[in-house]
Structure 1
Amino acid sequence: MRHLTPALAAALLTLAAGSAAQAEEGMWTFDNFPIARANATLGTNIDQAWLDRVRLSSVKFGGCSAGIVSAEGLVMTNNHCVATCVANLSTQAVNYAETGFAPRSREDELKCPGGTAEILTDIADVTERMHAAGAGLEGQAFTRARDAEAGRIEQEACGGDAGRRCQVVSLYRGGQFKLYTYKKYSDVRLAWAPEDRAATFGGDLDNFSFPRFAIDAAFIRLYENDAPAATPTHFRWNADKPVEGTPVFVSGSPGATQRLLTQDQLFTVRDVVLPMDQLLASELRGRLIRFSEESEENAFIAMDPISGIENTYKRGRGRMAALIDSQFMATRAAGEADFRRRVAADAALTTRIGDPWGELGAVQPVLRELYPAMALLEGGTGVGTTPVGGGSQLFLWARTLVRGAQERAKPSAGRLPEYADSRLAAVQSGLFAERPVYPSLEQLRLEWWLSKTREWLTVDDPRLGVLLGEESPESRSARLVEATTLGDPTVRRALWEGGLAAIEASDDPLIRYLLTLQEPTRAVRSDWEARVEAPTARASEQLAAARFAAYGDSVYPDATGTLRLTYGRIEGTDVPGQRWGPFTTFDGLWARATGAAPFNVAPKLLAARGRIDGDTVMNMAVSSDTIGGSSGSPVVNEAGEILGANFDSTVLTQRNAYGYDVKVNRSVIVTTGAVTTALRDVYGMERLVEELGVR
């Protein structure tokens, strides 16, 4: 591992989007973690063996992160990361979100439908192969050749091994490609979850803020061959009271950052992507809230979707605040100007890379024009959050069945990348999972999507004839949901296994509907790949080459939903809008409670008040570099002991998508002390306390 040279210090400044690089900055890959720099900054003494233990103890769970905490497959994550599992296992009569899930024995732990968990076991460089695959190609031929090569690499490495998953990951926006190999667990069971109110105290008002008073923690267990998985490498549990200033490391799978985007690209995000996504999310949130107020059943059905859309909306609000902050954007602009000056000073480098900034700038008008149709009809833009089909599970199953049948009729290398042989196991896992389906919610989502698509594309768009025909969004969505049988997993399995013949012979209205949508939606995707994705990838690759030439490669790439390690200290902040110390306690919870929602304490937690030490720390703030997807990330000390799990950050921290600022960036952590208290004193989970080694 290289030491921090003046050139690398300058690189870090540039990659921080123009702000002075802070010691805590960086979502680092495990094969390029700056050990020496971290030790010098924190006064720690970690080494490669420590990194390996942390990597093998870290878990990717759906869109969240987690950490192994026992030798018998026990894993801690956030309660909001198991919310979908809890909802799928609940009924209105037995609602685990209200009561908590506290199984008396290991045999009572319940399988999360469709749940998978993964541990990163190996990282290999495949940059040369991926770059060669696209050499000399342009447009859609370029993207399809790259996708095909990634599929071949993944298939060569993992084949049909159901216990492993291989993924070619693009880093530095195409500057590097790495093959990540995961140990995969397809049997994940819920081992404990508190009452939802214990994890969400303060509701949306307290969300993305600090002080917080939330036990946003839960346990899952990894199973193999119907038995708890053997996990000898795991974090040791440390429930001691945390100490301000303690160095900590956060290991997780942050979703996506956009720190390496050019200013022109960021202007598109600011002016087109975020405004559209925020308007759409705001209306969907309003419709879901109205729906939830219509009955107790609807309130039960909509609880998890409302929580999800509120997170999406508030996250977008924080990011928009960053992009309209003139000082923040000026700092980023200064960083880009510095980078361009350094490249311009090297004549040979300038000749070799051309003008990637100009090429990316030329793509932006096209992206702005195509984004609404791509986001609404196809998804997969890489920059937005609008859900295709409104997020209707029935719609997404139908699309998977139709697309999957059509694509599997082709050779693997000629398919859309999500249906390559190397990725079919994951597709099938989601398709065959036994999940509850609520027709009223499905109809609401489809109606909203059809209505908004018509609004944004306008009624004169010829694709509206296929989407709606002569029907209204209300009538078409109701008809499709009422008559489909795709809520039955046996029907989905039969259609999948029957292949294209079964799909084309099906009279299911959603299947017929998705068949009619293929021509216009595939055309939207092809246009996007040729005119946006390919030239962006080409220019970004050249920009990465310039960055490596100017600064070397000991800098961190943008987050990509893959395992990263960041670090910092336990500390509060003292900036306008964020002036507080690093800790909250149970006594603070009692003081904040009013008895009225959302500041009403969960019943079981309130009933245990007399058994709880009020001085126990519930939540803490740390200066680590995290973002969405980091939820559930284990927070560990130099000794490899877990001190808590990341569950949130502050609104000001949402600018972290575009650049890190140690003054305002704070991750919010639920402590192991709070979790131990909840297990032992509230929910009677002594068997888990014993398994964690707490005396």
Structure 2
Amino acid sequence: MRKIFISFLIGVFILTSKLISAKEGMWLPILLQKLNADEMQAMGMRISAEEIYSLEKSSLKDAIVHFGGGCTAELVSSQGLLLTNHHCGYRSIQKHSTLEHDYLTDGFWAPKMSDELPNPGLTAKIMTSMIDVSDFVLDSVLEGMPENQRQKLIANHIARLKKQYDNDQFHQVQVKAFYYGNQYILMTYDVFYDVRLVGAPPSNIGKFGGDTDNWMWPRHTGDFSVFRIYANDDNQPVDYNKNNRPYEPRQHLKISLRGVEEGDFTMVFGYPGRTQEYLPSYALEEITEKVNPFRIELRRQKLDIMAEAMNKSPQIRIQYSAKYAGVANGWKKWIGENKGIKRMNAVQIKKEQEKSFLEWRGISDSQDNNIINDFENAYAEFTNWDMAYYYFVETSYYHDLSRYVGSYSKLVELSKEEKLDTAMINKEIKRLSGTIDGFFKDYDKDVDKALFLASVRSYAQFSYDAPMPEVYSGYIHKKFKGDMEKYTDFVYSKSFFNDAILLKDFLADFSPSKVSKIEKDPMYAYVNSVKVNFQDSILPPFLTYQHKIDSLQHLYMDLIMQKRKGELIYPDANSTLRIAYGKVESYEPRDGVKYNYFTTLSGIMAKENPNIYDYVVEPRLKELYDSKDYERYADKDGKMHVCFIASNHTTGGNSGSPVLNADGHLIGLNFDRNWEGTMSDLMYDPDQCRNITLDVRYCLFIIDKFANARRLIDEMDLVE
């Protein structure tokens, strides 16, 4: 198997119209020269693969940043200046916002470097190398080996491998599986912890259209924010210190003011999070018919509760804006995903592919060694536990207080050990004490109480092949006769975790002898009961069936690659550095409708509605529009272009990714996908899937003309 896979990777690839679309895929930069460079250049790219990725000299990869663990950003100056999406910086902006300094509403622009705001916990990772280590990791790993034994052997090999590299807080080593464990790649990163907020437009620019327009095209969102990486005097990553200096990158991106036209070559460089393109039909059925529907409904309930409270109180709006956006993002995406899978008839397409696969294998439907039948049986057993798993995930993260209270479990464990470790206990007390103010800053008891009530009602109604948590089957049933509202009133009136002052006093005077106060707290008792039930009754069978499916998927992927030898097959996204490439393209979402490939500032004015929060337009922006004061940022048609679409294959994690032109110059910031293309994590449709990009000229226009932050423009290398 290993030799077959290597020959697949390094063989000669001749593309025909029958093979995978050039627009589909998220490709590994270390393989561009072998797999993609010729095609990319045939599509219009004017730079070499070595200019994109090289270990010998600086390349575009040195300007790409894994931002905050879930987004991408790009370096755009020699002084560590970063561009990313507004929604990627949203939580940082929100944490700096108060009623007196509401940066979410008003925006923020640091007049000088010393005014740039630190963001504890925010990281910026820059990849320094990417090496195929499959031979080492898979040494002695045999086909047919039990999955748990296989994973244990692989984990041991990875641990040995990591010891050969510097692996600390500031220099991280990561080994990840590709092609469902048929390939392993080691990546090294420099990790920066001093990342400061430099600027952000008001939300009615950076979030224009809000959740109404999320996942939609046409789009008019100025979705960007500006940060800066700081380093020590040796230009190395360190913790925050006010005396740190701006980081000097090996390379930063040049920015093009030339705009785009239909058919232009584009590529996206970033950290896509997760795709599942090679799942069997039974997995697609489970996702779209079982898991997605209940997750959509649970999140709808949560959104309704938060929206009602946010609409009544400016304070709650600030506290819950980032939380609301995070919940809404998945909710709307799954709705679109289900619609797209149904429209594309994706399950049937998968079944046809499986039929072709069996014919290639020379296996009949009824034979015992039919891996497709094995998948069917495995998912029949797995679905119930998969739903139970996600029900726990969705309801456990429904409300803030239970999640926060759960963070005290380590202190409880340390305090109950036979041999007390005083140093560890004091360290944990200090850590928890430092979280109190941050938690209560963004917490509202009444909102959280309403969310908790909705959560416990939903969880009580869910049935699966395992006992319910004792707090449901025993305590609530016996003491409250199953009345969830009375139980919720009791929890929120009696829990001392609801009071910041009581909590601070308790920790200030804490000793292990007082740990029972935590254990007897009604919210902690609830959290502990649900967690224990999950760990004892749900997680073991979930993992058993998941390992069985993983083993099948590993073999299935290997066989798919054998069947499709000679074709380009990209690995699923897994939060590692990738390149997607395509072209600027309009599309037709349905009969009689065609969407243009770009939008303009006039579209913002057409959408304006002062009575709808998502469509309020800044007065200053209207002034600039009325005067047509666009300067060099206008397109050659004289209009201020805002966004454009292209056929690059993207997913979550690509938010903030640079969209580059044929010369490798920055032309935009990727920030979304279209509604018709949200199913691209499971199956890509080149006719419908489009990535939505903020035109970098609109970004610069807002920085320069709207915010008067010319000092930032002066740092950048603009190509006119």
Query: TM-score range with shorter-chain normalisation?
Result: 0.7 to 0.9
Unaligned runs of 5+ in 1: 14-19, 380-385, 411-423
Structure-1 separation of matches of 2:524 and 2:670: 41
Q: Which residue of 2 aligns with 1:30?
A: 29
Instruction: Identify if the C-alpha distance between structure 1 residues 21 and 504 changes in structure 2 by more than 3 Å, giving closer, same or farther.
Output: farther
Q: Which residue of 2 aligns with 1:388?
A: 396
CA drift at 1:134: 7.1
Give 3-state SS (helix, strand or coil) of 1:635's partner.
strand
After superposition, where does 1:409-428 map in structure 2 within 5 Å? none
Residues 661-695 of structure 1: per-residue CA shift (max 9 Å, x gap): 22111111111110111011101111111111349
Q: Which of 205, 210, 227 is residue 203 of structure 1 equivalent to?
A: 210
Structure-2 separation of matches of 1:336 and 1:433: 55
Structure-1 separation of matches of 2:557 and 2:407: 34
Q: Which residue of 2 aligns with 1:420?
A: none
Give 3-state SS (helix, strand or coil) of 1:173's partner.
coil
Letter in 2 for 1:599: Y
CA drift at 1:540: 1.1
After superposition, where does 1:112-511 map in structure 2 within 5 Å? 112-128=119-135, 130-131=137-138, 138=146, 141-142=148-149, 145=152, 148-149=155-156, 152=159, 156=163, 161-225=168-232, 226=241, 227=244, 228-325=246-343, 327-344=345-362, 354-377=369-392, 379=393, 386=394, 388-390=396-398, 392-402=399-409, 434=438, 436-440=441-445, 441-457=447-463, 461-465=467-471, 469-470=475-476, 473-474=484-485, 483-485=495-497, 506=518, 509=521, 511=524
Residues 472-523 of structure 1: per-residue CA shift (max 9 Å, x gap): 555555665674559979989x99xx99999788558355554444431212
Structure-1 separation of matches of 2:273 and 2:666: 22
- Is the deviation greater in 169-178 or in 37-46? 37-46
CA contact (8 A) 1:484 1:508 kept: no
Q: Which residue of 2 aligns with 1:72?
A: 79
CA contact (8 A) 2:388 2:538 kept: no
CA contact (8 A) 2:406 2:527 kept: yes
CA drift at 1:186: 1.9
TM-score, normalising length: structure 2: 0.81
CA drift at 1:218: 0.8
For this pair of structures, how many residues does the alignment match? 656
Instruction: Identify if the C-alpha distance between structure 1 residues 572 and 358 changes in structure 2 by more than 3 Å, giving closer, same or farther.
Output: same
Q: Which residue of 2 aligns with 1:51?
A: 53
- Determine whether 1:96 maps to 2:103: yes
Instruction: Identify if the C-alpha distance between structure 1 residues 662 and 467 changes in structure 2 by more than 3 Å, giving closer, same or farther.
Output: same
Letter in 2 for 1:198: I
Instruction: Identify if the C-alpha distance between structure 1 residues 154 and 321 changes in structure 2 by more than 3 Å, giving closer, same or farther.
Output: farther
Q: Which residue of 1 aligns with 2:616?
A: 600
Residues 421-459 of structure 1: per-residue CA shift (max 9 Å, x gap): xxx9xx99x979956331334434433332221121389
- Is the deviation greater in 398-407 or in 116-125? 398-407
Instruction: Identify if the C-alpha distance between structure 1 residues 453 and 156 changes in structure 2 by more than 3 Å, giving closer, same or farther.
Output: farther
Letter in 2 for 1:573: Y
Structure-2 separation of matches of 1:160 and 1:490: 40
Letter in 1 for 2:86: N
Q: Which of 629, 634, 637 is residue 612 of structure 1 equivalent to?
A: 629
CA contact (8 A) 2:125 2:189 kept: yes
Residues 543-592 of structure 1: per-residue CA shift (max 9 Å, x gap): 12212333348520111222211011122123427512212122332233
Letter in 1 for 2:88: C
Letter in 1 for 2:587: T
CA drift at 1:233: 1.3
Structure-2 separation of matches of 1:154 and 1:528: 31
Q: Which residue of 1 aligns with 2:117?
A: 110
Residues 221-251 of structure 1: per-residue CA shift (max 9 Å, x gap): 1122432222131111223333332211101
TM-score, normalising length: structure 1: 0.84
Q: Which residue of 1 aligns with 2:13?
A: 5
Give 3-state SS (helix, strand or coil) of 2:180's partner.
helix
Structure-2 separation of matches of 1:637 and 1:466: 57
Larger radius of gyration: 2
CA drift at 1:316: 0.6
CA contact (8 A) 2:271 2:577 kept: yes
CA drift at 1:199: 2.0
Structure-2 separation of matches of 1:3 and 1:145: 31
Q: Which residue of 2 aligns with 1:382?
A: none
Q: Which of 537, 540, 553 is residue 527 of structure 1 equivalent to?
A: 540
CA contact (8 A) 1:113 1:433 kept: no
CA contact (8 A) 1:154 1:167 kept: no
Q: Which of 549, 560, 569 is residue 555 of structure 1 equivalent to?
A: 569
Q: Alpha carbon RMSD of aligned pairs, Å?
A: 3.9
Q: Which residue of 2 aligns with 1:539?
A: 552
- Is the deviation greater in 638-647 or in 50-59? 50-59
Give 3-state SS (helix, strand or coil) of 2:684's partner.
coil
- Is the deviation greater in 275-284 or in 396-405? 396-405
Instruction: Identify if the C-alpha distance between structure 1 residues 328 and 144 changes in structure 2 by more than 3 Å, giving closer, same or farther.
Output: closer
Letter in 1 for 2:442: V
- Is the deviation greater in 165-174 or in 278-287? 165-174
Give 3-state SS (helix, strand or coil) of 1:293's partner.
helix
Instruction: Identify if the C-alpha distance between structure 1 residues 117 and 374 changes in structure 2 by more than 3 Å, giving closer, same or farther.
Output: same
Residues 311-342 of structure 1: per-residue CA shift (max 9 Å, x gap): 21211111101232364433333333333333
Structure-2 separation of matches of 1:190 and 1:570: 31
CA drift at 1:468: 7.9
CA contact (8 A) 2:141 2:154 kept: no
CA contact (8 A) 1:406 1:500 kept: no
Q: Which residue of 2 aligns with 1:688?
A: 712
Residues 388-415 of structure 1: per-residue CA shift (max 9 Å, x gap): 331x4443344455369869999xxxxx
Structure-2 separation of matches of 1:679 and 1:463: 53
Instruction: Identify if the C-alpha distance between structure 1 residues 561 and 685 changes in structure 2 by more than 3 Å, giving closer, same or farther.
Output: same
Percent identity between the two aligned chains = 21
Structure-2 separation of matches of 1:406 and 1:545: 44
CA drift at 1:601: 0.9
Q: Which residue of 2 aligns with 1:667?
A: 691
Q: Which residue of 2 aligns with 1:413?
A: none
CA drift at 1:80: 0.9
Letter in 2 for 1:295: S
Residues 48-83 of structure 1: per-residue CA shift (max 9 Å, x gap): 232342222111113211111112211111101111
Structure-2 separation of matches of 1:2 and 1:407: 53
CA contact (8 A) 2:468 2:533 kept: no
Q: Which residue of 1 aligns with 2:583?
A: 569
Letter in 2 for 1:579: K
Unaligned runs of 5+ in 2: 1-8, 233-240, 418-427, 631-637
CA contact (8 A) 2:415 2:515 kept: no
Structure-1 separation of matches of 2:87 and 2:273: 16
Q: Which residue of 1 aligns with 2:422?
A: none
Give 3-state SS (helix, strand or coil) of 1:118's partner.
strand
Instruction: Identify if the C-alpha distance between structure 1 residues 375 and 21 changes in structure 2 by more than 3 Å, giving closer, same or farther.
Output: same
Instruction: Identify if the C-alpha distance between structure 1 residues 271 and 256 changes in structure 2 by more than 3 Å, giving closer, same or farther.
Output: same
Structure-1 separation of matches of 2:152 and 2:249: 39
Instruction: Identify if the C-alpha distance between structure 1 residues 2 and 134 changes in structure 2 by more than 3 Å, giving closer, same or farther.
Output: closer
- Is the deviation greater in 656-665 or in 259-268? 656-665
